[in-house]
Amino acid sequence: MDKTVKELQKTHKIVGRKDELTSSLIAAKAAKHILLEGAVGVGKTTIALAVASHLEKTFVRIDGDERYTEQKLSGWFDPPLVLSGGYTEDSFIQGPLSTAMREGSILLINELNRMPEGTQNVLLTAMDEKTIFIPKYGKVTADPGFLLIATQNPDEYIGTSQLSEALKDRFICIRLSYQPEDEEREILRSRSVCSDEDIIGAAVSFARLTRNDQEIRRGSSIRGAIDLADIFHTAHGDYNDNIENWLWCARLAFRTKIELHDFSEDRFLRILEKLAQQALSSHKTGSAKGQSGNDTRRTHRDTVIAVPDEKKK
């Protein structure tokens, strides 16, 4: 299993996640439906795709939202074809669920708990009895190998609903938390256009601080750190610890990545400035501990580019 996990990590560029990959692979090989749960940006979909590819099966992917109806999931009759030929096989349009069941393939549902409860309930008999019944069409029976892999964000996220106990009971649930700081730095090294270790370190520290601030309802995922590092690198080239530079870049990187309990523009900027100071201080302390002898890092501390002037209120 370790060899397989290492192959998936390499092929799909997954940093860490050994336990989560191992658990998912074992559950899939045991023919258990899998629910991957975690915050936005922790890699749920990446792991789901990695497991699906390893099983060497075709898969059907759908993205859940509040408009996804039962008919869209299981299949529906095309009205013009029904008028001309009646309720026949030719007038029926296969949905992703019926397609995956007939083919014995994998149905990958991204953000399952954004679907309406009625749509979610269609999955119950498909998962348990391997059958669904479609009015005027009849019974659809799953071929061997049919498997459901779903992801969901935490219940407290806007636009999500809590899965029913009956539906959760049919899943093996695998929880994904935020990764350790060293792994998040490694993710930036592989995905960011920035190769400056100081920028990478400060950006990761900044993003991690957003997850523990009491005024922030939802903190940033690793995507926020990647965006911050890319923007800072593009704007300034090398690392510098000018607070205004970091604040300007953070406004761009984190505006869509964090959610406050009580939003206002002044509060948003104030929190970013506080976290920028903490991130730079933490990074400076960590860098100092890692240095021996003279500090030979290129910091260009006095380098500042012109940015839009915004007076503090």
How far apart, in whole angstroms, are the C-alpha atoms of residue 221 and residue 224? 6
34 in helix, strand or coil? strand
How far, rounded to the nearest angstrom, does the alpha carbon of residue 101 sit from its chain's CA centroid?
26
Asked, for residue 303, whether it belongs to a domain, the answer is no
Phi then psi dihedrals of residue 151, to 5 deg: -120, 155
What percent of the chain clears pLDDT 70, i.e. is strictly above it? 89
Question: In sequence order, what DSSP letters do the residues of 280-293 get, joined into one string?
Answer: HHHHHHHHHHH--S
Same structural domain, 201 and 224: yes
Q: Which of 143, 176, 209 is the last residue of a domain?
A: 176
CATH number of the domain where residue 62 is located:
3.40.50.300
Q: Which of 137, 157, 176 is the last residue of a domain?
A: 176
Asked, for residue 283, whether it belongs to a domain, the answer is yes
pLDDT tens digits along 293-312: 444 343 333 344 444 544 44
Same structural domain, 172 and 196: no
Question: In sequence order, what DSSP letters do the residues of 156-195 get, joined into one string?
Answer: TSTT--PPPHHHHTTSEEEEE-PPPHHHHHHHHHHH-S--
Asked, for residue 296, whether it belongs to a domain, the answer is no
How far apart, in whole angstroms, are the C-alpha atoms of residue 10 and residue 216? 35
Same structural domain, 143 and 100: yes
Same structural domain, 222 and 196: yes
Token readout for 294 is 């003279």
Asked, for residue 309, whether it belongs to a domain, the answer is no
Same structural domain, 106 and 72: yes
Quick one: average pLDDT of 250-270? 91
> Which range marks the domain in which residue 83 is found?
2-176
Asked, for residue 311, whether it belongs to a domain, the answer is no
pTM of the model as a whole: 0.80
Query: For residue 207, what pLDDT band results from cuts at 50, 70 and 90?
Result: very high
Asked, for residue 262, whether it belongs to a domain, the answer is yes
Query: What is residue 90's predicted lDDT score, i.e. its pLDDT?
Result: 82
Backbone angle region of 310, left / alpha / beta, with phi > 0 → left and psi within -120 to 50 → alpha? beta
pLDDT tens digits along 37-94: 998 889 888 898 898 888 878 888 998 888 888 889 988 888 888 888 888 888 888 9
Query: What is residue 87's predicted lDDT score, i.e. its pLDDT?
Result: 84
Selected residue with higher pLDDT from 159 and 236 = 236
Query: What is residue 160's predicted lDDT score, i.e. its pLDDT?
Result: 65
Selected residue with higher pLDDT from 159 and 229 = 229
Query: What is residue 156's predicted lDDT score, i.e. its pLDDT?
Result: 62
pLDDT tens digits along 111-146: 898 888 888 999 999 998 899 998 888 889 999 989
How far apart, in whole angstroms, are the C-alpha atoms of residue 68 and residue 24? 26
Query: What is residue 202's predicted lDDT score, i.e. its pLDDT?
Result: 94
Compute the mean pLDDT over every residue in the chain, rounded to the nearest whole number.
Answer: 86
Is the Cβ–Cβ distance between 239 and 298 less than 8 Å? yes
72 in helix, strand or coil? helix
Query: What is residue 189's predicted lDDT score, i.e. its pLDDT?
Result: 94
Same structural domain, 198 and 168: no
Beta-bridge mates of residue 110: 63
Q: How many separate domains does the chain show?
A: 2
Amino acid at 116: P
Query: For residue 291, what pLDDT band results from cuts at 50, 70 and 90?
Result: low
Asked, for residue 313, whether it belongs to a domain, the answer is no
Query: What is residue 313's predicted lDDT score, i.e. its pLDDT?
Result: 40
Same structural domain, 116 and 165: yes
Phi then psi dihedrals of residue 93, to 5 deg: -100, 115
Range in 222-231, 253-262, 289-298 with the lowest mean pLDDT: 289-298
Query: For residue 30, what pLDDT band results from cuts at 50, 70 and 90?
Result: very high
Query: For residue 209, what pLDDT band results from cuts at 50, 70 and 90?
Result: very high
Alpha-carbon torsion, ordered 117, 120, 125, 128, to 10 deg: -110
Output the furthest CA–CA distance in the chain (Å, rounded). Answer: 85
Same structural domain, 139 and 201: no
Q: Which of 176, 207, 233 is the last residue of a domain?
A: 176
Quick one: average pLDDT of 257-265? 90
Same structural domain, 78 and 28: yes
Same structural domain, 53 and 110: yes
Is the Cβ–Cβ distance between 204 and 184 less than 8 Å? yes
Beta-bridge mates of residue 133: 139
Same structural domain, 90 and 188: no
Asked, for residue 301, whether it belongs to a domain, the answer is no
Tell me which residue of 77, 104, 101 sits closest to 89, measured CA to CA: 77
Identify the burial level of 108 via C-beta atoms within 10 angstroms of its C-beta, where 0-12 means exposed, 13-18 middle and 19 or more buried.
buried
Same structural domain, 160 and 192: no
Quick one: average pLDDT of 206-228? 93
